[in-house]
A and B are shown apart, each in its own frame.
Chain A
């Protein structure tokens, strides 16, 4: 009796309130996270414009920051590969996605905050290109995003989707390696990845995917990046596992909560 009275004096808080609060909290924090990561993802994108810094400045930067592993003359050391023939494009990609300078040895180089300004990166790229040339920055035409979307999407599904996921959400490889998501990668970096084949990604040379093919693929990916998902929440576009988890937790959780409410005695 005493217990009943005490509960009543606390007001009628149903046991469902706790469940509802947790649910609301989860949804809110998910939403805030999604919003925040979208905001952080909006970064500027370097262009092939002329730089105020010269290849000589690039050489100094290279010797100060890269030569320990890649050698004073790009010849490579025990700690890092030679950079002969990697070209300006690879330097731009590796440094301005934050993969280089490498933070630590691991399954694969991680993206982290960029260490140099755009000008410094282009200067280093010029320097590397001047010593032993390789693929250079592409023309604006390839990056314009005006290619054939349907064809680009088909080429993406044949050549890229097995690793990067059909919605470009990325995926796991072997032994701790992974194919990163490319849902907010810039056109230049998509192009650079195809041409230079960073780390375990295969190279897609111009005989495999012609420059027009690459333009179509880039266009399809840029279109996907901008277009809203037709189905509402895409839960990371990770497919049936993520969607299954969502249904198990929120769908079945909701059913359990309703069942508890239906069978609970009214007070």
Chain B
């Protein structure tokens, strides 16, 4: 009876598979080339003729497009009375299209030619091994040794070392030139980054006109873009842009009770009017998207938000510090003036400001 047989016969003979379904000696076997398949153009003479026609038509299209590009240059003048935006656009567009089609047609034609008409028989070119043969290697080593001996490179230490010195020295002028790209007009760059044109008594004037602003002009809900008065008089050569980049200020007015001011900064605002640097403390974009109802300032670059009611503290985003506040007051004539310069450097962190 079956159950009287050896019940563990299976366990005795069974050998589990090591995990591979197929034993492979060489894991990367050469599959060889697939059989050559004839193309339509090989079998059908009509298709062949059509392909030939397509290719030469493309090349002639290219010729025509090149001629068209030259014609477009003359047909769409952009000088004198024709110098309008629309004409410049047409001129660029049609010359560009001509050149683009000229080059594209050559490319498409060439590829179509090679794909449909040139022989497409594939063959294998075996790769030779990269290691040179023993004699070659010996010869190269020999060549180096001879060269060393004949030139005296290893022997004449003076010459060799002076050559090294010359090579190192040749880089130095480059370093000097690049070093000079840093601000170097006798001023310490740290100093330049620390200071703006704002100083005690400097009037707040409108950007770019230079009109001074009276406290009464700044109505609730308005936003004034402000520069220091002495900046408005600078010319481009006198560093107008460099100074402006640091000195731009936004002036807004809130109800005095909306401002949550700290004790020591109570005197920095004037009757609800506050002035903050417009240079973002993240990487220095101009922060000027002022929402007059939420009193938030938004930086367009990386969405830092500053709360104007609380000394421009950061309420969102990557900026690390509040925007620096410019202390302001009014002068005898009622114009807004700075009480002092900024008490801290404006703008992003730099190597001596974190």
Contact = CB atoms under 8 A, between A and B. Distances in A.
Interface stretch (B10-18, B64-72, B85-93): B85-93
17 contacts: A12-B40, A154-B208, A159-B223, A162-B289, A171-B289, A174-B298, A179-B289, A197-B221, A200-B293, A203-B220, A207-B213, A228-B86, A230-B85, A231-B89, A265-B37, A266-B39, A266-B116
A79 interface: no
A9 interface: no
B222 A174 contact: no
A228 B115 contact: no
The 6 closest A-B pairs by CB, nearest first: A207-B217, A202-B223, A200-B291, A266-B115, A162-B288, A203-B222
Given A174-B296, A207-B214, A266-B116, A159 B221 contact: no
Contacts of A266: 39-41, 115-116, 120
Interface in A225-267: 227-232, 261-262, 265-267
A173 B291 contact: yes
A131 interface: no
B206 interface: yes
Given A174-B316, A232-B93, A266-B41, 10 more contacts: A154-B208, A158-B208, A174-B303, A199-B293, A200-B291, A202-B223, A208-B222, A228-B85, A230-B89, A266-B40
Interface in A123-137: none
Interface string A195-213: 0010111111101100000
Nearest to A230: B85
B352 to A, nearest CB: 30
Nearest to B47: A12
B286 interface: yes
Nearest to A261: B111
Given A158-B208, A158-B225, A230-B85, A200 B217 contact: no
A202 B40 contact: no
Nearest to B207: A158
A61 interface: no
A154 B92 CA distance: 27
A173 B248 CA distance: 21
B300 interface: yes
Q: Chain B, interface size: which category?
A: 35 or more
Contacts of A205: 217, 219, 222
A230 B305 CA distance: 35
Contacts of B252: 202
A199 B293 CA distance: 7
Most A CB within 10 A of own CB, among B207, B222, B225: B222
Contacts of B225: 158-159
Contact of B39 (A162, A201, A207, A267): A267
A163 interface: yes
Nearest to B88: A230
A173 B289 contact: yes
Contacts of A162: 286, 288-289, 300
Contacts of B286: 162
Nearest to A161: B288
Interface string B278-317: 0000000010111111101010100101000000000010
Contact of A173 (B206, B218, B298): B298
Nearest to B115: A266
A177 interface: yes
B85 A227 contact: yes
A65 B294 CA distance: 27
Given A171-B300, A208-B217, A200 B305 contact: no
A228 B300 contact: no
A208 B253 CA distance: 13
A227 B286 CA distance: 28
Interface string B77-95: 0000000011011001100
B89 A174 contact: no
Nearest to A196: B221
Contact of B224 (A177, A208, A228): A208
A232 B89 CA distance: 7
Contacts of A171: 289, 300
Contacts of B217: 205, 207-208
B108 to A, nearest CB: 9
Contacts of A204: 222-223
B52 to A, nearest CB: 14
Contact of A197 (B41, B116, B292): B292
A158 B286 CA distance: 10
A174 B297 CA distance: 9
Interface in A69-100: none
A202 B294 contact: no
Contacts of B214: 207
A173 to B, nearest CB: 6
Interface string B95-127: 000000000000000010001100010000000
